[in-house]
Amino acid sequence: MNAEDNHRVSPWSALESIPGQRAVTSLWLARLGNWYEDFRDGFLQPTAGVAQSFPCPADCGCWHEVVCHGPEDIVGACRCDPARCDPLALAPDEVRLWELSWPRLAHELCGALGLDVRPVELPLYNTRQIGSWSAAAVPAILTIQHDAGQFRQALEGLVARLRQPFILLAPTAQHLGATSQEMLAGVKAGFFGLDSHVRFGAGGRLQSVRAPGELFGRFAPEPSEALEEGAARRAFALVRALDAEQRARKASLYTVFRLYCVEGLTVEQVARQCRCARSLVFLRLRALRRKLGTEPRHLRQYSGCFERIEESLTDTRARRVYRPGAVYGEGAPAEGER
């Protein structure tokens, strides 16, 4: 692999190139390239086992059998017949196996994609539920497969077991064929390739390319229009009133409410927009939860209503109407709204 290819390699495609996501350091390094250290620190963990084979450093395509004569006397013997490579003297660290930490990857993906953390073990190879989306708790499934056949088999199992819409995440879309797309459409499930929707950053931090509310918008529940509009107006009115009372200079309640609930941004994205610490965003969300009596993420289902309410308040005709009354109904405006 030359320097240019090494720079272009994707950490997501590397996961699908290593069966079982367990390998020695040299193979992870070859697949991950410049991303190796960040990916190792973020998502790899050592195992108790020792590799039984080792990739040939001459890049001839063969694998050497690992023979342990002692703790410090380890040899990689060429399996070719006749042998084409000299035996390798290997160090203990070179034959140590490193594997993907599913819990760590799942936790970071949930944070980046705005999913509720909800891990569920599934009796399907390399396939797990990592979280859920919206108040409807739409399952978010992660599957990592080595070839198209394994991918299709995992998808068949998911469709048969869930029989409902779900969000399917995979490192890339390279195994997504026409048959798989037909199965997904049959249960109104959606596929999202991580290489297209999640950026991999320094230190193993993940970031959604698009706002989660926009990405998974079609999976939000659809309450009746009248109920939706009424609930949205009540929540909007209460947030504006609370915001006027607190008058926060940074990351105000209304700003956090709009970025998190209306635009569907993650906590990290909200913190960046407000140029504040994540802890301050969490404080605002806790205040919203306490005052509104519901989880702020559940309000994302009303994002369309909130936008219509805001548009009505900025409309030219609405400027001639007493603005707090348009939202709150009868009553005097709050001090900070005048």
CATH code at 176? Answer: 3.40.1350
Which pLDDT does position 137 carry in this prediction? Answer: 86
Q: Is residue 216 part of a domain?
A: no
- Cα–Cα–Cα angle for 257, 134, 296, rounded to 5 degrees: 25
Long-range CB contacts (within 8 A, 24+) of 194-201: 194/12, 194/109, 194/169, 194/170, 195/10, 195/12, 195/13, 195/171, 197/113, 198/12, 198/109, 198/112, 198/113, 200/10, 200/11, 200/12, 200/35, 200/38, 200/39, 201/38
Q: Is residue 329 part of a domain?
A: yes
List all residues 6 or more positions away from 267 whose beta carbon is below 8 Å from its beta carbon: 111, 260, 278, 281, 282, 285
With beta carbons less than 8 A apart as the criterion, state whether 174 and 10 touch.
Answer: no
Q: Is residue 80 part of a domain?
A: yes
| Residue-number span of the structural domain to which 322 is assigned | 225-337
Which pLDDT does position 329 carry in this prediction? Answer: 36
For residue 66, CA distances in Å to 13, 133, 246 come to: 27, 45, 66
Report the domain count for the chain. 3
Which pLDDT does position 303 carry in this prediction? Answer: 72
Q: Is residue 164 part of a domain?
A: yes
Structure tokens at 280: 């301050």
Q: Is residue 219 part of a domain?
A: no
Which pLDDT does position 122 carry in this prediction? Answer: 93
Per-residue pLDDT of 40-98, as tens digits, reads 999 999 998 888 888 887 766 678 878 888 777 788 888 777 777 788 888 888 888 99
Instruction: Say yes or no: 164 and 256 in one domain.
Output: no
Q: Is residue 124 part of a domain?
A: yes
pLDDT < 70: residue spans in the chain: 1-9, 59-61, 221-231, 248, 313-338
Q: Is residue 291 part of a domain?
A: yes
pTM of the model: 0.67
Instruction: Say yes or no: 142 and 157 in one domain.
Output: yes
Instruction: Say yes or no: 251 and 291 in one domain.
Output: yes
Instruction: Say yes or no: 87 and 139 in one domain.
Output: no
Q: Is residue 174 part of a domain?
A: yes
